[in-house]
Amino acid sequence: MDGLSRRQVALRILLPFAAGYFLSYLFRTINAVLSPDLVRELNLAADDLGLLTAAYFITFGVAQLPLGLLLDRYGPR
């Protein structure tokens, strides 16, 4: 294993996956964290905040399609 212990190899594999999962979770929950500030700073009503959150998630979901195709086409290099 090129002088690396099993633990070091496991950490090199686990840490990028853990970081990716953390970022994915963060992107999906950021509106819940920011909503009090958004309501206060932008004077949003509840329905406006709902529309903003829906637009964010729709954009997030639609962006997954071309990104997935690009990753399938070019892959990791």
Domain layout of the chain by residue ranges: 6-74
Report pLDDT digits (tens) over 27-55: 888 888 999 999 999 999 999 999 999 99
Can you read off the two tokens belonging to residue 71? 């990753």
| Tokens 């639609």 belong to residue | 62
Q: 0.75 exceeded by the pTM? A: no
* Cβ neighbours around 52 below 10 Å, total: 17
Rounded distance, CA 25 to CA 37, Å?
20
Rounded distance, CA 15 to CA 10, Å?
8
Residue 77 confidence (pLDDT)? 64
Rounded distance, CA 63 to CA 66, Å?
6
